[in-house]
């Protein structure tokens, strides 16, 4: 081959080549990442906490502190028209007098907490929308203590990754710590100004207006602060989305 007539043209071509190859690289990056994840060793290092890639990715998108709308009393759905939704019996027959919340994991003060312990902390009441994956939504009034405040009360290590909860009906759930610490995330003991009815999760449930309805676990019995999840959630372990932010 002879020398090119115009050396500038060569330089231009090289620049074009550099640009294209960078763009090409960006295009194949997800494939490379997915490929790396396909190797069990890489995958277990990334997701040894029990999450899937999608779980992890969705948690990166969480808008920290972004609040869903607070609604007015005029917007409230009457409690009688607020559907009940429980995978088994609506009333798991919790002994309300003997009830204690078992607090475990990465906390300075683990142990059993009474409802009165939770009620001694400042109370937050909010009208927010509850959206069920089955295609209905309502506006409800929920009151209780912010999860963030209770975690402070028990001396939780909030740099831990997850909050895991268990329920009297064998339901269970888990949240990423950012969602647990969100100002609208409640340990809820009242709906519509009255103690939780049995079928609503007495004596304590979650109310998580930034999340799909099934994450708002009812009939809480235990709570654990942890970096590793053995199980993610009742519906999640059957294939439903774990993060499911609204």
Ligand X SMILES: Nc1nc2c(c(=O)[nH]1)N[C@H]1C(S)=C(S)[C@@H](COP(=O)(O)O)O[C@H]1N2
- Which of Mo ion, ligand X, none lies near 169, with the C-beta cut-off 5 to 8 A by kind? ligand X
Among 99, 150, 171, 242, binds ligand X (CB under 6 A): 171
Site for ligand X contains 142 (CB under 6 A): no
CB 53 to ligand X: min, Å: 25
Cα dihedral: 54, 171, 115, 111 (round 10): -80
Measured from the CB atom, the residue of 113 and 214 that comes closer to ligand X is: 214
CB 193 to ligand X: min, Å: 15
Measured from the CB atom, the residue of 86 and 125 that comes closer to Mo ion is: 86
* Nearest CA among 243, 162, 173 for reference residue 210: 243
Residue 124 near residue 67, CB atoms below 8 Å: no
**How many degrees, rounded to 5, is the angle at CA 162 between CA 106 and CA 44?**
105
Query: Facing residues of 143 across strands?
Result: 125, 190
User: What tokens does 146 get?
Assistant: 């912010």
What does the alpha-carbon distance between residue 226 and residue 94 come to, in Å, rounded to a whole number? Answer: 26
CB 26 to ligand X: min, Å: 40
- Segment 76 to 95, residues that bind ligand X, using CB under 6 A: 82-87
Give me the residue whose beta carbon is nearest to ligand X: 213
Binding region for ligand X (CB under 6 A): 82-87, 132, 167, 169, 171, 200, 213-214, 216-219
């Amino acid at each position: 081959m002879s020398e090119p007539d115009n050396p500038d043209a060569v330089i231009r071509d090289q620049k074009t080549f550099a640009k294209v190859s960078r763009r090409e690289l960006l295009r194949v990056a997800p494939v490379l990442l997915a490929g790396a994840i396909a190797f069990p060793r890489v995958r277990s290092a990334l997701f040894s906490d029990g999450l899937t890639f999608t779980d992890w990715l969705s948690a990166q998108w969480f808008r920290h502190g972004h609040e869903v709308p607070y609604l007015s009393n005029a917007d409230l759905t009457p409690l009688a028209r607020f559907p009940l939704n429980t995978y088994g019996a609506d009333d798991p027959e919790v002994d309300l007098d003997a009830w204690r919340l078992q607090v475990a994991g990465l906390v300075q003060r683990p142990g059993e907490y009474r409802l009165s312990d939770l009620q001694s902390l400042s109370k937050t009441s909010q009208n927010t929308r509850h959206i069920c994956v089955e295609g209905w939504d309502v506006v409800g009034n929920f009151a209780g203590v912010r999860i963030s405040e209770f975690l402070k009360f028990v001396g939780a290590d909030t740099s831990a990754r997850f909050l895991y909860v268990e329920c009297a009906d064998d339901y269970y759930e888990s949240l990423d710590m950012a969602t647990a610490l969100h100002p609208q995330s409640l340990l809820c003991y009242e709906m519509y100004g009255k103690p939780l009815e049995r079928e609503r999760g007495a004596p304590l449930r979650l109310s998580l207006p930034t999340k799909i309805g099934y994450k708002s676990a009812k009939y809480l019995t235990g709570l654990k602060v942890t970096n590793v999840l053995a199980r993610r959630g009742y519906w999640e372990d059957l294939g439903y989305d774990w993060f499911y932010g609204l």
